[in-house]
Structure 1
Amino acid sequence: MLTWLQRDSLDFPPLDKALRDPNGLLAAGGDLRPERLIQAYRHGCFPWYQDGQPILWWSPDPRTVLFPDELHVSRSLRKVLRQQCYQVSFDRAFGAVIQACAAPRDYADGTWITTPMQQAYLQLHERGIAHSVEVWREDQLVGGLYGLAMGQLFFGESMFSRADNASKVGFVTLVEYLKAKGFVLIDCQMPSQHLHSFGARSIPREVFADYLRSHIDQPSNADWPA
């Protein structure tokens, strides 16, 4: 049975209560205030829903993750990185990045990054929890991604690209930065061929939960340079 969250409580049901079909649906309802979002990620779930639906909270099993030590960069992408066609920054244009990620895609109907979602993650950015990666060609924003940094874990949310390899350059730059700063895991949430090409893999939800317990309160050395 699906749990409906109450506005006066930040508690989520145990992860093993998530449905098998659809995979990982844990709860519905509640709100997107920063305190609930923070608790959701600490608990091992995240919001994902369409306009017109209630807020849906997910904890899929297995969970797709990338260990920074296992990053795979193709030969062709290494060549692009050496050419330095793009410039990469952090937290320079969070609002523009999340708006671009929310824009319509040719392969999808609508967007799950609704206006309330954008507003909620902007609040997390203002608290220093949500971060963006921007990829520039001259002064034009051509790619980027955003996510949350908590302890030694980074929770990836979405990325976009308006030029060849732009989001890939941003992603590799982010992973290398996180590795240098002591992060142990990047949560990719759901599997995709694109993420697997970088070395992402699936782990059991209970193993993911162990990483949460062990590392979400451990300090990192991140200073998020602009």
Structure 2
Amino acid sequence: MTFYLPCLDDLHGQFPPVTQALDEPNGLLAFGGNLQPKTVLKAYQHGIFPWYSDDDPILWWSPNQRAVIQPSAFKPSKSLRKYMRKSNLTVTLNQATPSIIKLCASTRSIDETWITQEMQEAYIELADLGHCHSIEVWDGKTIVGGLYGLSIGQVFCGESMFSLTSNASKIAFWHLCHYFNKVGGKLIDCQMMNNHLLSLGVTQISRERFISQLKHNEHQKIKLHSQILSLED
């Protein structure tokens, strides 16, 4: 089976309409281009994200089903609440974003990760520009879990999470939902569903509905300042 896949280099950096994304593989839209901040931000603003391995060109995706959660909808389990109360973990925002990005890459196997060196450098640059943010979970002075993603208006587009100890990624996600809801966030995008996201209460909506919500909420910028996070209102 053959198919035509547009090249961004031939389109002068303009992404094709997401309605042209392939059904198989689900959401593959284009290839090529670059990971410069303006390109990546333009992609996310149109419901598109990069996802590829070292041996591939840059591949751009917009799947027909999007994994999302409203930050106010996250409900931590009783066991997670109990674990958090008994732990001595500290959770912060934007205090070690480059480390979180690198740990998200290094804690996965070579066959599993899409966070190439090129991707790491691109998102660290986006962090320096104030677009990429991280949640860090600390045990003393050691990072044991966390996540990172891009803020597009009132939508947080999650990229990856990791955990080096029990529940650390869940705790990071809990704090993200709590804080993002408190500052006016409307939606957290988790891109593509997996069992871990399903266990956190993430659901799926159509690409059309996701992009509609993205467009509706992209204009009200939220500032996510470096700080220690608390679950208290």
The one-character-per-residue Cα deviations of 1:175-201 (angstroms, maximum 9, x if unpaired) are 100010111100000001111122110
Q: What's 1:133 paired with? A: 135
Say if 1:221 and 1:98 are closer, same or farther in 2 by CA, change over 3 A: closer
Structure 2 partner of 1:4:
7
Indicate which of 120, 123, 133 corresponds to 2:122: 120
Aligned pair 1:217/2:212, yes or no?
A: no
Offset from partner CA, 1:135-181 (integer Å, 9 cap, x none): 10011111111001121000000011111111111110111000101
Show the counterpart of 2:231. none
1:146 corresponds to 2:148: yes
Aligned counterparts of 1:121 and 1:105: Cα–Cα separation in 2: 18
Separation in 2, partners of 1:85, 1:111: 30
Distance in structure 1 (CA, Å) of the matches to 2:107 and 2:175: 25
Alignment of 1:181 with 2:179, yes or no, is: no
Deviations 1:114-149 (A, max 9, x none): 111000001100010000111100111111110011
Provide the C-alpha distance between the structure 2 equivalents of 1:221 and 1:28, rounded to a whole number of angstroms.
32
State the match for 1:61 in structure 2. 64
**TM-score, structure 1 length as denominator?**
0.95
Instruction: For residue 224 of structure 1, report the CA deviation from its aligned partner.
Output: 4.3
Partner of 2:108: 105
Aligned residues: 225
Q: Give the direction of change, closer, same or farther, for the CA distance of 1:61–1:156 in structure 2 (3 Å limit).
A: same
What's 1:50 paired with? 53
> Which letter maps to 2:86?
Q
1:60-112 CA distances to partner (integer Å, 9 max, x unpaired)? 01111011121121110011122243100111111111111001535x61521
> 2:64 is matched by which residue type in structure 1?
D
> Aligned to 1:54, what secondary structure does the other structure show?
coil
The answer for unaligned runs of 5 or more in structure 1 is none
| Percent of residue pairs bearing the same amino acid type | 46
Other structure's SS at 1:4 match = coil
**1:47 to 1:184, Cα distance in 2 relative to 1, 3 A:** same
- Which residue of 4, 17, 20 corresponds with 1:17? 20
Conserved 8 A contact 1:72-1:197: no
Correspondence 1:82-93 to 2 at 5 A: 82-93=85-96
Structure 1's consecutive aligned runs of 4 or more residues displaced over 2 angstroms after TM superposition are: 7-10, 219-226
**Cα 1:28–1:8, aligned 2, differ >3 Å: closer, same or farther?**
closer
Cα distance, 1:65–1:213 mapped onto 2, change above 3 Å: same
Q: Secondary structure at the match of 2:158?
A: strand
Letter in structure 1 aligned against 2:104: C
How many Å separate the matches in 1 of 2:123 and 2:174? 22
Do the aligned partners of 1:182 and 1:221 also contact (CA within 8 Å) in 2? Answer: no
Letter paired with 1:150? I
- Measured on the aligned residues, the alpha-carbon RMSD in Å equals 1.5
Taking the aligned partners of 2:60 and 2:168, their CA distance within structure 1 comes to: 30
**Secondary structure at the residue paired with 2:193?**
coil
The DSSP-based 3-state class of the residue aligned with 2:227 is: coil
Which residue of structure 2 aligns with residue 41 of structure 1?
A: 44
1:96 is the counterpart of 2:105: no
| Pick aligned residue for 2:174 from 154, 169, 172 | 172
Gaps of 5+ in 2: 229-233
